[in-house]
Chain A
Amino acid sequence: MSEPRLAVENRTRFLIRHEHRGLRVLSLVGLVVLWEIVARIGWVPVLFLPSPLGVVAEGWEMVMSGELVGHLAASLRRLLFGFAVGGGLGVIVGIVVGFFSVAEAVGTPLIAATFPVPKIALLPLLILWLGLGEPSKIAVIALGVFFPMAINTYTGVRQADALLVRAAVSFGARRWSVIRKVILPSALPMIFAGLRLGAGTALLLLVAAEMIAVESGIGFLVLHAGNIMATTKLMVGIVVLSLLGVLSHWGLNRLERLTIPWQG
């Protein structure tokens, strides 16, 4: 007679998470197909919901005529300048406030007081100060990027491993060396997280800024198309904005992997 047996089975099976690759593709494709069907059978008038294929065709036409390229170039220029100014200043302020206790005492209350202000609310003020031209548009984007960058850089600096700082000092590093060779690389992952946050804010502010007194840019395209009820054109603008968001995220990921090769 054999002894009763209890076979051991994996009790964590219900915790296993699968990747479901097919489902990931299907969810996106499914939405577009559903949208196309809804548009085709005419449930919703084209004026309110143009079909995806129609949007693609319109987009292609706008590319060929150069209309889209012009708008895109104008928007990208604003984004780039805003990012450079806001990001650069943000990193510098973050490092200075994070490293020097006097700067921290002066800077943190100022940042805490100004950070919660929605940057869009400052747009009229910026227009008043800088005029209706490009500087006010770039300034509002720069402001939107500045805060997440400054705050993240500051956090990254504060989180720098004290042991590594001491090790650097023990090998003769002075203040500037410590900042450049220990604090800055320590803060890089946080700086990239700030860039990602800033990218979202920048896109939002770009569109808002381009809705006031401009003749170019994706934001202008969307607003103008809406005004003349060119819904397909409007949709093209929205798709371009969403692509910009996806691309910036992807680009930042690539850049991060290039800049931080030690993160395995």
Chain B
Amino acid sequence: MSQEEQHALDLKAIEARLASLVPRTDRLDRERLMFLAGQASVAPSPATQRRPFGRWAWPAATATMTATAAGLLVALLWQGDPPVVERIVEVPVERPVPKDVKTDRERQVEPVKAESLQVPAGPHEPDSPPSRERFLVSWGLGDWRGSAGGRLLDLPLYPRTFEEILVRGLPSPEYASPAGPPGKTPAAVSYRELRADLLGGPPPEAPAPSWLRSNLLFHRRTDS
């Protein structure tokens, strides 16, 4: 038997005898270990307690804000003086005008003569046609009466109240006559015409109330 084989046999022998020794386990409390293992098995693990992004959310936000602040600081430090922009501004200057020459505006605005400010006699009514005429005369528009010497009431009257709208109607493009000439304002459709168009017959004659009757009389008087 060679020396190496003898050495290997000796190692096998000491290995077998050492393996026959049993390590001590008397201080390992088995019952306590099982109790703690049961507690640990029902307790939530740190991996489950962790929120999905809780671990990286705050570090990522902090890193992003730090990088942004650093970038802004570098940009602020490297920013030079603002560039000079040269602009040519043209300022119009009025030519001096001699004092004895009237300007176009002075020529257009003539002083109001005293005759045109005469107020026609009559009872004062706030909304009556004479008061409107007097108002226009006081503003120097007394000559603006039309070529036929007509009255001021020949001007188109615009409805001011709901009743007038019902009676006179509004100029509406929806109810304009299609046969009308282009470029001309469409004719107004009155309430009566609209009702007759929708219901297919003439409106029933009903006695109008006193306030509407007076208004109608006013308009008849003005239309005549």
Partners in one complex: no
